[in-house]
Amino acid sequence: MASSHISSRYAVGVWVFLVVASILTAWLGDHHGFFGTWTVAVVMLVAVAKARAIVLYYMDIKFEPWVLRAPFEVWLLLCGCIILGFWTAAPGAG
């Protein structure tokens, strides 16, 4: 494991981002008309951003060599793309 860790101040900043993103997601879930049929896509993008923040900063993956970090980055990207792909392929979506 690398010796660098995130500072308390940065951890609080990431936490604030996660709280704001969670509130935004809950608000969007209740106000479908804001983005129309694309609300699901926006919520999924916010979810992927939140998952990436958790993996990178709270699991300290950000400070690991790329060989260890790449699988998590690819996994998040693939999961987001697959979910959005299934959503856009569904009848009546997008």
The model's pTM: 0.79
For 54, which DSSP code?
I
Q: Each residue's pLDDT tens digit in the chain (94 positions)? A: 445 677 788 889 999 999 999 999 998 888 777 777 778 888 888 999 999 999 988 888 888 899 989 999 999 999 989 988 888 887 876 5
Q: What's the length of the chain? A: 94
Concatenating the DSSP letter of every residue in 23-57 gives: HHHHHHHH-GGGTGGGHHHHHHHHHHHHHHHIIII
CA separation for the pair 44, 48 (Å, rounded)? 6
3-state secondary structure of 7: coil
